[in-house]
Amino acid sequence: MVKKRLAPKLPISFSPVNEADWADGEIYQAELSDETVKITERTLFMSCHLRNVNFKLFPEAALEFTDCLFEKCDLSNLKFSGTGFYRCIFKDCKLLGTDFTNCHLQDIQFASNLMHYANFSSSRLK
């Protein structure tokens, strides 16, 4: 029997994001568009819509994405090593050389992405 893949649970409307939201390292029900996001420490994204977002990750950044939609994001050559992705969709994203080594990937969907040289070594796929 094939297990049904779970889709992200996204809210009907999203909250605006401001500087105070980044301070505690937890972003809930937010929509980020056309931004470059710099992450230097542990950060949790939950029920977020990330459209045309670029990330700048520092080595000490520990990330977790739950119920997120990545749309038209450029995640090329980023190292998400050890990151958790749960019920996420990557749609029309650029994932050239993206490093998903040792990631936990559960109920992930990839649709129309450019994924040449993406590395999923030692990742846990469910």
Reading the chain (126 residues) residue by residue, the pLDDT tens digits are: 556 667 787 777 777 676 566 667 889 988 999 988 888 889 999 999 999 999 998 887 889 999 999 999 999 999 998 899 999 999 999 999 999 999 999 999 999 999 999 999 888 888
Per-residue pLDDT at 20:
64
Per-residue pLDDT at 51:
94
Determine which helix (DSSP H) or strand (DSSP E) holds 20, and give its type and residue range: helix 19-23
Per-residue pLDDT at 1:
55
Per-residue pLDDT at 69:
96
Determine which helix (DSSP H) or strand (DSSP E) holds 109, and give its type and residue range: strand 109-111
CA 69 to CA 104: how far, in whole Å? 17
Given strand 89-91, what is the order of strands in its sheet? 31-33, 49-51, 69-71, 89-91, 109-111
